[in-house]
Amino acid sequence: MKMIIDTDPGVDDALAIALACVMDEIKLIGLTTVFGNTYVEQSARNARYMLDMLKHKAPVAKGAAFALGRDSHDPSDYVHGPEGFGALTDIPQIGFDDPRSAAQFLVDAAAEHKGELVICPIGPLTNIALALELDPNFAANVKDVILMGGAYQHAGNITPHAEANIYNDAAAADAVFASDLNVTMVGLDATMQTLLTWDDFVQMGKDAPRVGGFIRDISDFYLRFYRSIGIEGGCAMHDSMAVLVAAFPERFTFENSGLQVILEGDELGRTCADPSRKKTRIAMGVDTSWAVPYVKSEIARLS
């Protein structure tokens, strides 16, 4: 399948990008970047850095710096590190290499690959909402949007009610769920069912010293954050789960419901049912005996 990942790299984004580059089921045709785990300029540099490390020829288009209607953003540096890649700093200043905005890049790609393009947003949904505004045919042109975000029956991870990607631009997320896009939400209900341990990352480093070793090194910071909030068993591979759903939906269980996002108050960013809207496919479970071994085996192919 032809895929664009909309990303805010991000430790778990790095693993998802590596997976998409190596998996035979996916043809990654570009990355678009957004604010979130880090500032959008840094996310563009990180995205380009990952593709160069993976020797994958695809463009990077820089997108939204802030949520809809806002003019500032505080990155999640306490989770992902000062530049998004754990303790690693001084990422080369390569940056984006496509002059179009991320939203325009998405609109153009959807028109070029009408009915074939899968968009996998693994950060705030601002670029997707902007693409919907740019082109009234965007939703019809896109095959699927398979996003990492949301918490349906699970508790939130940035507030008791909200998952971080949805919370960081609740208005954009609500616009996506209200649209005619074919949306699959891969949220905390599924992603928190499997954890990657330090031993898993060490194995990746042994199997693929260059790429796996990089993922191991940046994940140490991420694991420390998980331990700081009382999760000792490892860290979730949130973003990779969306990539896995795109390629192997049979390994997951789903519910279907229209969704809305709470836009104000204490429950800002909460994803909840709205039967009046087009149904979203919501990932609720995953084959836990398969997911981690599969990811490790694919990373090993990057040796």
Q: Catalytic residue numbers?
A: 8, 238
Q: What's the CA angle centered on 243, arms 237 and 246, to 5 degrees? A: 140
Task: Kindly provide the residue ranges of all beta strands, DSSP E only, lying in the chain, ordered along the sequence.
Answer: 2-7, 27-33, 60-62, 117-121, 144-148, 183-186, 195-196, 235-236, 252-257, 259-261, 271-273, 280-286
Pairing state between β 27-33 and 60-62: parallel
Q: DSSP letters of 100-132?
A: S-HHHHHHHHHHHTTTTEEEEE-S-SHHHHHHH
